Amino acid sequence: MLFNNLIDVDNVLVRKEILTTKFVCDLKNCKGACCTFESDFGAPLEENEINKIEEVLDVIFEYLSEENVNEIKKSGFYEFKKEGLFIKSIDQRECVFVYYEGDIAKCAIEKAFLDKKINFRKPISCHLFPIRITKFGGDILRYEKFSQCEPALEMGKKEDKSIAEFCKDSLIRLYGEKWYSKLMEKNSR
């Protein structure tokens, strides 16, 4: 039964709900909740992303509050736990890379990227959200549900856009355009 809900795309297993669930972030209503979830873990981080972030940390600091900069300088921006590698959070809530535009939490790494000051967009786990990757002899992509994302489900229905469509850029970044095309072909069957 579990495998009936999975689609194999070049040895990456994708849960069908990624193709069928409508989802588009609605920052006006969620206020960037994905960057401020209360949790024992920050966003998952790939080991090869550490150096990329370290190389541009001074630029990222330009967007952060003094509190966040001091926290990173004192304790670093990532931590190893037995479950893996994660970005640190402040008080088990706010990601250390959060800055605010009004009352909306946003990513300072991505802001520096969009301002063309760095060439690293943000950790892939953040870019893929609400998709999470489980490693089990290969990648398994699943939709991670949070009540704070209810507005995104409504916006997705209005715009008639699936999670796979919403995450197109991040999926192409991770697996390539050919892979993404194959995923969308399987969706149309």
Q: Six-digit token pair at 131?
A: 């998709």
pLDDT the model gives residue 75: 93
pLDDT at residue 35, rounded to an integer: 86
- In this structure, how many other beta carbons lie within 10 angstroms of the beta carbon of residue 35? 25
Distance CA 60, CA 71 (A): 13
pTM above 0.85, yes or no: yes
Report pLDDT for 1. Answer: 37
Distance of alpha carbon 26 from alpha carbon 19, whole angstroms: 19
Per-residue pLDDT of the chain (189 residues; tens, 9 = 90+): 355 788 999 999 999 999 999 999 998 988 888 888 887 778 899 999 999 999 999 999 999 999 999 999 999 999 998 778 999 998 888 899 999 999 999 999 999 999 999 999 999 999 999 999 988 878 999 999 888 889 999 999 999 999 999 999 999 999 999 999 999 988 665
Residue 156: CB partners within 8 Å, gap ≥ 6? 21, 22, 23, 24, 162, 163, 166
